Amino acid sequence: MKRLAKLICGILMLTALVFLVGCGGIRVVFDIGDAVLISGELKQTYKDGVEIIPPEISKDGYALVGWDGDYETPAEATTVKPIWKKLHTVTFDLVGGTATEGADLTQSIIDGEAAKAPSVTKEGYVLTGWSADFSAVTEDLTVTAQWTPVYTVTFDLAGGIQEDETPLVQTVKEGDAAQLPSVSREKYDFVKWDTDVSAVTSNLVVKAVWERKVLTSSEIFKEISPGTVEVNAYRLNGILYSTGSGFFIAEDGTMVTNYHVIENTRAIEVTLSDGTTYDVDTVISYDKNLDVAILSVDTKGNSVPYLELSDELPEVGDAAYALGSPLGLTGTFSSGIISYVGRTIDDAPDVSFIQSTAPISQGNSGGPLVDEHGLVIGINSASYTEGQNLNLAIEISQIEGLPEVNLTPEELFQKEGTLKWYFGEKPVSEGSTSYNGQVLESGDTVSSTISTQEDRDVYFIEMPQEEAAVMVMLKADSLEELEQMYLLPLLSNSPNLNSAQLITEEYYQGAIGTDNEGEYYFLMLIYLSPELIRQYDYVGLAFSADSRVEYEMFMLAMSEEEILAL
């Protein structure tokens, strides 16, 4: 009986449920409490094919995170309530920075969740963090950007080269260290960087500090020999007049020597250590008092090795080295020490000399005096023969600021050339006025007068016995009188004009010049080859003029050594 009653009761309940579903479905109620309904229905019926859509609601200061019951597939009538979480406001203060476009600087964050940091920049600064943690927000926050200054560190290699890939311009945070590049420089040792970069606090330009390598004597010779030259200077007819030394100071062929090496010369040739020869085409600058000349060599477009100049004076006791061509011995290298700096002498009061014990001989003049680094400190100039180890070089700084003249060697000779004046050594009172020439001794001076155009004054000296030249100097009262005189160089086997032959132009050369007192003279050199000496007994001159002229004439037979000493 009881069992039957339970069965009947169950059937009745199932029947009631089926009735309810069949009549209207399951009721779902959304209890939103004190929230505000924005849209949607708070009471909805669930049945087959009908979707339950929760209403859109809001509550100030909160975020809806769900509902506390199943409203999508309820088994029975149900009431669900919203689940709220607190909202927090996170504000990002950039402290002078700038956010990228679209960045959200004020964010509403659900309790316990993270805010999103904006992308920001600030000129001269790097963002190193924020003032508060916003990875799990539990309250309203104002988060301040934390900036650290950044500085530019620039490395100046000062002539060196970089050996690695470290940036030479770096952006470094305040207090951090810059990364040092690896550098090297030919002929120098790296000493240090001139500024500490271990804790940077400002923009910096950091310069490499180098120290010239101290070279051995053999290294110095190899360093300076290619740029040191032998200087050969010539007068008339290609006759070598003087030999000295010099050195290039630029790859274009600019060189330095002593003025006295090129003084009174008309052509200059330089010979490099490898035997290459070039001509000097221009005297750029010179100073007779300083005894300095700067020349331009025609290198035919070739670059030449050159010496570097020191910008510092040596100290007493420092090593010194000299290179040149003393007595024609090309490439002679000597060494010593600096014994005095800033020496002056009575004969050259305007010159500041470096005195050293490095031997200097004739032919060394114009060559370089260098220090232990191979840098030129002086121009070898003079040596005291009365003492030992008393050698002078002109301080190299004295070539600075010399005015440019840009003359050819010939133009310099015309401007500055002077010759020794020989008149008066062996006077002869009156000259010949007939075709029978007057025989003079070498070195005689003749004073004479040509009265008419028909007059001929003829003079002979005996032919020298070895290769030589005859120098003739002719002086009149004025340039006009000199220019109207005619001079014929002669060769003969007897002192007579009628038996004489003219000397061809290839054997003589002449020019008008002035002496130290400004008086005009005519100078002629007659070259006597061994062949001419064998064929003839006399060398002579015949004079005539367009009108009356009073003159003095000097004849002197000279050996090659005597010509070079002019």
Secondary structure, 3-state, 151-171:
EEEEEECCCCEECCCCCCEEE
Q: Which helix (H) or strand (E) covers residue 521, if one does? A: strand 520-528
**Burial status of residue 195 (CB atoms within 10 A of its CB: 0-12, 13-18, 19 or more):** middle
Domain co-membership, 532 together with 484? yes
| Model confidence at 109: pLDDT above 50 | yes
> Within a domain: residue 5?
no
Q: How far is CA 29 from CA 16, 19, 66, 80, in A?
A: 21, 20, 15, 6
Structure token digits, residue 407: 């003359």
Q: Which helix (H) or strand (E) covers residue 200, if one does? A: none
Task: Summarize the confidence of residues 320-330 as an average pLDDT.
Answer: 77
**Residue where a domain terminates, one of 213, 240, 275:** 213
**Residue where a domain terminates, one of 213, 236, 268:** 213
Q: Report the Cα 223 to chain-centroid distance in Å.
A: 18
| Model confidence at 282: pLDDT above 70 | yes
What three-state secondary structure class fits 322? strand
Q: Which of 10-19, 338-347, 454-463 has the lowest mean pLDDT?
A: 10-19
Position 422 confidence tier, pLDDT thresholds 50, 70, 90: very low
pLDDT for the residue 301 = 93
> Within a domain: residue 11?
no
Query: Global pTM?
Result: 0.57
| Model confidence at 453: pLDDT above 50 | yes
pLDDT in tens, 224-279: 999 999 999 987 556 677 889 999 999 999 999 999 999 988 899 999 999 999 99
Q: What is the DSSP letter of 42?
A: S
Position 47 confidence tier, pLDDT thresholds 50, 70, 90: confident
Q: How far is CA 284 from CA 108, 295, 324, 516, 520, in A?
A: 83, 5, 22, 24, 28
Do the bridges between strand 240-248 and strand 228-234 make them parallel or antiparallel, or are there none, so unpaired? antiparallel
Domain co-membership, 432 together with 552? yes
> Within a domain: residue 18?
no
Task: Summarize the confidence of residues 198-225 as an average pLDDT.
Answer: 94
Percentage of the chain surpassing pLDDT 70?
88
Q: What is the maximum alpha-carbon separation in the chain?
A: 194
pLDDT for the residue 16 = 42
Cα separation, 310 vs 312, in Å, equals 5
Structure token digits, residue 512: 């008008």
Domain co-membership, 228 together with 179? no
Which of 130, 131, 126, 132 shows the shortest CA–CA distance to 148?
A: 126
Structure token digits, residue 115: 């805010």
Q: Report the Cα 71 to chain-centroid distance in Å.
A: 88
Domain co-membership, 466 together with 433? yes
Cα separation, 554 vs 534, in Å, equals 24
> Within a domain: residue 525?
yes
> Within a domain: residue 12?
no
pLDDT for the residue 430 = 45
> Within a domain: residue 137?
yes
Position 20 confidence tier, pLDDT thresholds 50, 70, 90: very low
pLDDT for the residue 551 = 85
| Model confidence at 9: pLDDT above 60 | no
**Residue where a domain terminates, one of 415, 440, 463:** 415
Q: In what order do the strands lie in the sheet with 549-558?
A: 426-428, 444-450, 549-558, 468-476, 520-528, 508-514
Structure token digits, residue 550: 């009073």
Q: Mean pLDDT score of the chain, rounded to an integer?
A: 86
Domain co-membership, 346 together with 459? no
Cα separation, 105 vs 477, in Å, equals 107
Residue 140 has φ and ψ, to the nearest 5°, of: -65, 140
| Model confidence at 470: pLDDT above 80 | yes
Query: How many domains is the chain built from?
Result: 4
Beta strands in 276-331 (DSSP E): 277-287, 292-298, 319-324
Domain co-membership, 391 together with 488? no
Q: Report the Cα 473 to chain-centroid distance in Å.
A: 51
Domain co-membership, 527 together with 397? no
pLDDT for the residue 314 = 92
> Within a domain: residue 112?
yes
Position 425 confidence tier, pLDDT thresholds 50, 70, 90: very low
> Within a domain: residue 6?
no
Structure token digits, residue 130: 């924020």
| Model confidence at 175: pLDDT above 90 | yes
Cα separation, 492 vs 471, in Å, equals 17
Which amino acid is present at 306? Answer: Y
Domain co-membership, 391 together with 330? yes
pLDDT in tens, 515-538: 666 778 888 888 888 888 889 999
Strand partners, 183: 162
Is residue 366 a contact partner of residue 257, using CB atoms and an 8 Å limit? Answer: yes
**Burial status of residue 400 (CB atoms within 10 A of its CB: 0-12, 13-18, 19 or more):** exposed
pLDDT for the residue 487 = 86
| Model confidence at 373: pLDDT above 80 | yes
- Phi-psi sector, 460: left (phi>0), alpha (psi -120 to 50), beta: beta
Domain co-membership, 499 together with 555? yes
pLDDT for the residue 2 = 53
The CATH number linked to 275 is 2.40.10.120
Q: What share of the chain is helix, strand, coil (3-state, %, to 5)?
A: 15, 45, 40
Do the bridges between strand 538-545 and strand 457-462 make them parallel or antiparallel, or are there none, so unpaired? antiparallel
pLDDT for the residue 481 = 86
pLDDT for the residue 469 = 85
| Model confidence at 1: pLDDT above 50 | no
Domain co-membership, 193 together with 237? no
pLDDT in tens, 341-353: 988 888 888 899 9
Task: Summarize the confidence of residues 335-340 as an average pLDDT.
Answer: 92
Domain co-membership, 289 together with 331? yes
Percentage of the chain surpassing pLDDT 90?
55
Domain co-membership, 444 together with 489? yes
pLDDT for the residue 421 = 46
Which of 343, 348, 346, 345 shows the shortest CA–CA distance to 369?
A: 343
The CATH number linked to 471 is 2.60.120.380
pLDDT for the residue 348 = 82
- Computed on alpha carbons and rounded to an integer, the radius of gyration of the chain in Å comes to 54
| Model confidence at 52: pLDDT above 70 | yes
pLDDT in tens, 129-168: 999 999 999 999 999 999 999 999 999 999 999 999 999 9
- 184 is in which domain, residue-wise? 85-213
pLDDT for the residue 419 = 54
pLDDT in tens, 538-564: 999 988 888 888 888 888 888 766 665
Q: How far is CA 107 from CA 118, 128, 138, 368, in A?
A: 10, 21, 13, 80
| Model confidence at 80: pLDDT above 90 | yes
